Each structure stands twice: as C-alpha cells, then as structure tokens.
Amino acid sequence: MTAEITREDAWSEYWQTGALHSCATSLDDGYSGAIGDFWHEVASEIPEGAAVLDIATGNGPVPKFLAGFNNASTWLIRGIDLAGIHPTWLNSASHVDVKLIGNCGLGEAQSKLLAGGDPTQFNVLTSQFGWEYITPRSDAIEQALQLTKPGGVWRFVSHHADGVLAKVAREEVAHVDFLLGESGLLKRAKDLLPWMERAILDVETVRNNAQASDARNAYNDAMAGISDRLRTSSAPDLLNEAREGIHSLVAQVGGGAKLRHHDILMQWRQGLHASRLRCQELIDHCLSQSDIDMLFAELRIRDSDVAATAVELSQAERLLGWGIRVNWSA
C-alpha cells in the first residue's frame, strides 16, 4: 500500500531534486521562445524600485529570470510556494534583493512576509504555471489582490486546456496507471525479483520452477507492453525512465547485487504516484477560453476599470499556455 500523497508532498519531492522549473523537458533555462518573449516583455515594463511577488514560484525560475535583468538591482523580488523548495541558484544572486519562501500557501503569504520583515503589497505579481492551481478561484483572486498595491499589475503564464503540456499530462497519467496496474511493470518486477535473488544461490531449482518461469514471462510481457506503448506515445519520457530504471534494478539483482529491492520498488511506486498527482492537477486546473472569460468577469466585479487580456503563447505550432495581463486601476 502507498500512503495517500498530498499536493504539497508531490511538489516538495519534485523541488528537492533541484529542478529549476516544473516543465523541465519543455522549457529551456535561457527562456527562448514564446514564454521567454512574454517574460522579457514583462521585465522590460517593470519600473525601477518595484516590488515583485512570484506566486507558486517552485524553485524560482521566474525570479531567477528577472534577477538577470539590469534593473533587477533596484527591484525587491519575493516568491512563495506551498511546497518545500530547494532553489540552489539563489546562492549566486547576491546583487539582487531576492528571497523565496517555501511551505507558504498563497493564503498565508501576507502573514509570512510580514513575519520575515518583507513588504506585504507588491507592484507586480507574477506566476508561471502556478496561480491557476489555487482554488477556489475566487479565493485565489482575493488573496492575490490583498498582495497587490493599488494600480498594480498581474502577469501570469498559465496552463492552456488545449495546450501541449495538458496533452502530455493526460498521456503521462495513462502511463502511470499502466505501470502501476495489476499486470504493470512494477508488480511484475516485484514478483520476479525474489526469484532472481534465489537463482544466485540455486539456479537449477529456479530454472525448473513453474512459478519462477511464470514470473519471468509476465515480466517480459510487461516490458513488451511498454515497448508497444512507446511506439505510439508522443510523451515517452516517463515510460522510458521507468523502463530503464526497473530494468537496471532487475539486472543488478540478477547479477548478485544485494539490494533492498522491495524498498527501491516502493520508492518508484511513490514517485510515480507523485508524478500522477502533479499531472492530474495540471489537467484539472488548466484554463479554457471560457475559464478565462469567467476569470475576467470576476476581476471586473472587483474593479470595473480593470484591464485584462489573455493571449495564446505558441511556438513551432505548439500551444504552450496563456499569457495573462491584468492592470488594476489605481
């Protein structure tokens, strides 16, 4: 059995790997392309002396990007995230006033910022694939507004319901279910590994044992099933990683390595559950055009003069997300 994993745990586990952003395979650190263009434009409009807050910052790719700008030495940059974070790049950003606060949900940001001697209202709120995760949306709007100075702006890159990242997430959820299913690779490896271990001591008995050969065949079938899936998958990374990782475990045990394979498989299982949760949350929180319309209608209830736009960010015919700009009246 795997203990129920929370959103916070799933992301904390991810950020502890040191990854800079959540779409490690979809965005380059140099921020070229449509999302980079959006943030370049945002950065070029931030006035001197501005206070910037990045919501759901993760390991802080947006603060890191902003910290590289000439004007950054005049800005105060803060980031908050619900999860435990591990932004190693901060050690080398000493010329900029930047601080990231982990284990801090948006709803508690004001009190935590205050406790840390930081401002509690900002000229610019940013978020990359983050703010939309916070629901109910009316709370997320309210909480973000409390952190916004009059006349402040929001600049968000958000997941798009028809975007490539949502598509990848849907595929990865299906991959995880396949891997963790009753005849999936994890279960098959679990059944096989004790036989592999026993074969080191007594190869003949294992060779002639029907259960052992059933376990071997079932494992091979599971591996073949992955190969079939890989042939048609447009998002193969997770499957490849699991296939290589489990294959290597089986090969090591078969070669006589004394490994706690039960624990290793349990870690794999937990990691896959966490991946699934992150993907499912992306799917559940990505924004369609009608979500954007509803969002903007809610903003206008709070400020009839608010200016809000959303553009689709695409590159090489891949729809990556929404670029949302909100300017509050003074």
Ligand X SMILES: C[S@@+](CC[C@H](N)C(=O)[O-])C[C@H]1O[C@@H](n2cnc3c(N)ncnc32)[C@H](O)[C@@H]1O
Q: Footprint of ligand X on this chain (CB under 6 A)? A: 7, 11, 21-22, 56-58, 61, 80-83, 105-106, 128-130, 133-134
3-state secondary structure at position 316? coil
CB-CB contact of 292 with 11 (8 Å): no
Nearest to 254 by CA among 216, 226, 205: 216
In the bound state with ligand X, the residue whose beta carbon lies nearer, of 57 and 123, is 57
In the bound state with ligand X, the residue whose beta carbon lies nearer, of 137 and 149, is 137
Task: Provide, rounded to whole angstroms, the least separation between the CB of residue 265 and ligand X.
Answer: 26
Map tokens 């000493």 to a residue.
94
Task: Provide, rounded to whole angstroms, the least separation between the CB of residue 18 and ligand X.
Answer: 12
Nearest to 104 by CA among 125, 127, 85: 85
In the bound state with ligand X, the residue whose beta carbon lies nearer, of 22 and 123, is 22
Contacts of 172 (CB under 8 A, 6+ apart): 235, 238, 275, 276, 279
SS3 content of the chain, % helix, strand, coil (to 5): 55, 15, 30
In the bound state with ligand X, the residue whose beta carbon lies nearer, of 134 and 186, is 134
CA-based torsion, 29, 30, 36, 42: positive or negative: positive
Task: Provide, rounded to whole angstroms, the least separation between the CB of residue 269 and ligand X.
Answer: 21
Task: Provide, rounded to whole angstroms, the least separation between the CB of residue 159 and ligand X.
Answer: 8
Task: Provide, rounded to whole angstroms, the least separation between the CB of residue 127 and ligand X.
Answer: 6
- From CA 186, how far away is CA 2, in angstroms rounded? 13
Q: Nearest residue to ligand X, using CB?
A: 58
In the bound state with ligand X, the residue whose beta carbon lies nearer, of 13 and 50, is 13
In the bound state with ligand X, the residue whose beta carbon lies nearer, of 8 and 241, is 8
In the bound state with ligand X, the residue whose beta carbon lies nearer, of 105 and 245, is 105
- From CA 273, how far away is CA 4, in angstroms rounded? 9
Task: Provide, rounded to whole angstroms, the least separation between the CB of residue 316 and ligand X.
Answer: 20
At 258, list the tokens. 């004394």
Any idea what DSSP says for residue 287? B
Strand partners, 122: 148
Phi, psi of 181 (to 5 degrees): -70, 175
Task: Provide, rounded to whole angstroms, the least separation between the CB of residue 202 and ligand X.
Answer: 49
